[in-house]
Chain A
Amino acid sequence: MAAEKKFIFESLQDIKSISSFLEAIVEGMQTGKILLSSSDECIEMHPNGLLHLSIKAKKKGGNNKIGIKVEWKETQNQEQNTVLSVGK
């Protein structure tokens, strides 16, 4: 089994600085490559194909939360997916 790779970054941001992170992720989605790195870990992600997107929002009292989650499976030999053929 492949070793699990994890990248965690938690911080406080203001609206201006948070935008730069969101923009960097959007740009990575568009180019198909997002690099997440720290001194211990470097994860290169290639969002591609069909992605599962969930957006959750919660408001309770003074607490607000927006969760954006993008998940996808990396298919082996993505380019050589079996072509289903019917008949001969």
Chain B
Amino acid sequence: MDNIDEIQENFKFIVTETQTQVNRIHNFVKSPTREVYEKALNRESYINNLKTVIENKCYAYIHTHGDLDTRSLNRIRAVLSITANLERICDVCINILEQMDHLVERRILRNSEYAPMFQVIEESLDQVLQALEEAGLSKALHICRSEYILDALYRTSFERLTALLDAGRENAGNCITAVFIYRYLERIGDMLLNVGEAVLFAALGQRIKIEQFDSLQQTLENSGYTGAIENINFQAIWGSRSGCRIGKVENAGGGHMPEHGSLYKEGAPKKILREKENLEKWNALFPGSVPRIFGHHEDVDRASLLVEFLRGCGFDDLIILRDGETVTEAFRVLEKAVRHIWEKTLVPGQIAVDFMHQLQHRCDEVRQVHPDFAQRSDMAVGKARVQSIQSLIEQCTGYEKSLHAPFSVLIHGDFNTNNIIYDDQEHVVRFIDLYRSKQYDYVQDVSVFLVSNFRRPIFDANLRDRLNRGIAEFYSWALQFAKEKEDGCMQARMAFALARSFFTSIRFELNRTFAGAMFMRAAFLLESLSSHGQSGAAWETFTFPPELLYYTA
């Protein structure tokens, strides 16, 4: 019977074997003997075998325990990953052994160079069992950091050896062999990094790269958190489409931390900085409407933010899950809040719109997922003609230039339903993910909201009906707003914006029928806009059938 104890026992064996093998190679580099050489070679197949045994037992265990909780499953995944990396470390040990054979003169290797490298590796391997056992973050981080140290040590040796080569005073083959040996030791660092990250994964339940972890730690420190990193529960919440990573951070004891926990967001500095600036702007204009910022940290290529975790329910879940009365109330609160924001930030005066530019910007991604849609060619059915998508996009890009919004407002910029949080205790809505927020046409937020409902892959008739009702409610409210503001060409801009949202949304949808429904809506809107543009009629007279906003399962 495969059980967890057997896995544990074999795992201990492979850790011990790796420690012994590394130690053996260390001794061999110091003073090579035939006996150690043969012993090391002989152990290689045993270690390979151990790896296979552990893999088999782990998969059998997962297979026979279908109801494993996430934590146990993550631990097994970590065991598998660590095992694979330990076996690779042992392979690299054999590579070093073989390289030693090619050395003409052993004195090219310096004890002062390789001994510290072996020491780092040996110390890291000593921590593996306990780190996984305790799910201890500091031990895991210690293992991860061995890679940095080994890199630095390798660089020193490499520079010395290349200088020798340049000077031409040393046998070239000898120098190169020595570089190989140091390089192999440096590569063990890469494998140890994987081992450390696997322990982090078991401890946090989240694949987190060491640089991200460092960034989280820095951000927490900047936020005034004084406790130990072990006291932080880091929980992945969702993968962000914008390429940022988001996790929930909670205090598990000790140290100062906000009450409801906070949200940790990490990504490209430009995006994070814009998000930070926008959060500050919104908080100044509309206090409490967006999360507070607790911390911020920036490196050359990564930046992170620690923001308030908002209590409440995302509008995406709310529309689907909550009772009719709550949904109605939530829409009333949302519409009131949005109207307040728009009215307060409204700047009169025409502004250009660029929905087609936004569409073109994402064309490649759409083409990758649905090439046949994105590349629909010119077609003919008898004398009736169908224009290619590309030429429709080009034409509409031209026509859009003649269209302006009569005023601008502060838009959210990514007004998806999952970026709107409703707190039914305080009856307020708050907004998250504001890095695209700017002064622009309100039609952008309306169309994104509508299509974020439409594009949900929900095909149950009752739930679909809820989505359709949400769409109808918000659209009729937006039409009313346009009417009040005497915005005569709102429908035309809405058609451009919807074409953009429908078209770009198909890149997230692999269900061909559903993606096709969105594509056909985009194509219909583009065809209508193009033919209206050609006619030279005023944009104020443009309308589209509202049915295309709805989907029936």
Residues B524 and A24 in contact, CB atoms below 8 Å apart: no
User: Which residues of B lie under 8 Å from residue A38 when comparing CB positions?
Assistant: 377-379
Once A24-B384, A62-B552 are accepted as A-B contacts, the answer to whether A11 and B378 lie under 8 Å apart by CB is: no
With A and B bound together, what is the CA distance between A20 and B387 in angstroms? 14
Residues A11 and B382 in contact, CB atoms below 8 Å apart: no
User: Which residues of A lie under 8 Å from residue B380 when comparing CB positions?
Assistant: 35-37
Report the nearest A residue to B384, measured CB to CB. Answer: A24
Interface residues on chain B, number (Cβ under 8 Å)? 19
The B489-523 residues at the A interface (CB cut-off 8 A) are: 516, 520-521, 523
With A and B bound together, what is the CA distance between A40 and B524 in angstroms? 22
Whether A39 is near chain B, meaning CB under 8 Å from some CB there, is: yes
User: Which residues of B lie under 8 Å from residue A27 when comparing CB positions?
Assistant: 382-383
Whether A82 is near chain B, meaning CB under 8 Å from some CB there, is: no
Rounded to whole Å, the gap between the CB of A71 and the closest CB of chain B is: 17
- B91-132: CB near A (< 8 Å → 1, else 0) gives 000000000000000000000000000000000000000000
Size range of the chain A interface in the assembly: 20 to 34
Residues A23 and B378 in contact, CB atoms below 8 Å apart: no
Once A14-B545, A17-B527, A62-B552 are accepted as A-B contacts, the answer to whether A9 and B381 lie under 8 Å apart by CB is: yes
With A and B bound together, what is the CA distance between A40 and B384 in angstroms? 18
User: Which residues of B lie under 8 Å from residue A37 when comparing CB positions?
Assistant: 379-380
User: Which residues of B lie under 8 Å from residue A13 when comparing CB positions?
Assistant: 524
Once A10-B520, A11-B524, A12-B524 are accepted as A-B contacts, the answer to whether A40 and B545 lie under 8 Å apart by CB is: no
- B373-409: CB near A (< 8 Å → 1, else 0) gives 0000111111110100000000000000000000000
With A and B bound together, what is the CA distance between A24 and B527 in angstroms? 18
With A and B bound together, what is the CA distance between A34 and B384 in angstroms? 11
When the two chains form the complex, which single residue of A12, A28, A35 contacts B520, counting CB atoms closer than 8 Å?
A: A12
Most buried by B among A11, A13, A40: A11
Report the nearest A residue to B461, measured CB to CB. Answer: A61
- A27-56: CB near B (< 8 Å → 1, else 0) gives 110000011111110000000000000000
With A and B bound together, what is the CA distance between A13 and B377 in angstroms? 18
Whether B428 is near chain A, meaning CB under 8 Å from some CB there, is: no
With A and B bound together, what is the CA distance between A12 and B521 in angstroms? 7
Whether A21 is near chain B, meaning CB under 8 Å from some CB there, is: yes
The B345-384 residues at the A interface (CB cut-off 8 A) are: 377-384
User: Which residues of A lie under 8 Å from residue B382 when comparing CB positions?
Assistant: 24-25, 27-28, 34-36
When the two chains form the complex, which single residue of B377, B383, B384 contacts A39, counting CB atoms closer than 8 Å?
A: B377
User: Which residues of B lie under 8 Å from residue A20 when comparing CB positions?
Assistant: 384
Residues A21 and B381 in contact, CB atoms below 8 Å apart: yes
Rounded to whole Å, the gap between the CB of A20 and the closest CB of chain B is: 5
Report the nearest B residue to A37, measured CB to CB. Answer: B380
Whether B252 is near chain A, meaning CB under 8 Å from some CB there, is: no
With A and B bound together, what is the CA distance between A31 and B382 in angstroms? 11
With A and B bound together, what is the CA distance between A4 and B548 in angstroms? 34
With A and B bound together, what is the CA distance between A23 and B382 in angstroms? 9
User: Which residues of A lie under 8 Å from residue B545 when comparing CB positions?
Assistant: 14
The B534-553 residues at the A interface (CB cut-off 8 A) are: 545, 548, 552
Report the nearest B residue to A23, measured CB to CB. Answer: B384
User: Which residues of B lie under 8 Å from residue A21 when comparing CB positions?
Assistant: 381, 384
When the two chains form the complex, which single residue of B378, B516, B528 contacts A10, counting CB atoms closer than 8 Å?
A: B516
Once A20-B384, A27-B382 are accepted as A-B contacts, the answer to whether A11 and B377 lie under 8 Å apart by CB is: no
Residues B516 and A9 in contact, CB atoms below 8 Å apart: no
The B272-327 residues at the A interface (CB cut-off 8 A) are: none
With A and B bound together, what is the CA distance between A36 and B378 in angstroms? 11
Rounded to whole Å, the gap between the CB of A27 and the closest CB of chain B is: 6
Report the nearest A residue to B522, measured CB to CB. Answer: A12
User: Which residues of A lie under 8 Å from residue B527 when comparing CB positions?
Assistant: 17
User: Which residues of A lie under 8 Å from residue B383 when comparing CB positions?
Assistant: 24, 27
With A and B bound together, what is the CA distance between A20 and B521 in angstroms? 19
User: Which residues of A lie under 8 Å from residue B378 when comparing CB positions?
Assistant: 38-39
Additional pairs, 10, CB under 8 Å, beyond known A37-B379, A38-B377: A11-B386, A12-B548, A21-B384, A24-B381, A24-B383, A25-B382, A27-B382, A38-B378, A39-B377, A63-B552
* Chain B residues packing against A (C-beta within 8 Å): 377-384, 386, 516, 520-521, 523-524, 527-528, 545, 548, 552
Can you name 11 A-B residue pairings with CB atoms under 8 Å? A9-B386, A10-B520, A11-B520, A12-B520, A12-B521, A12-B524, A14-B524, A24-B382, A25-B381, A35-B382, A39-B378
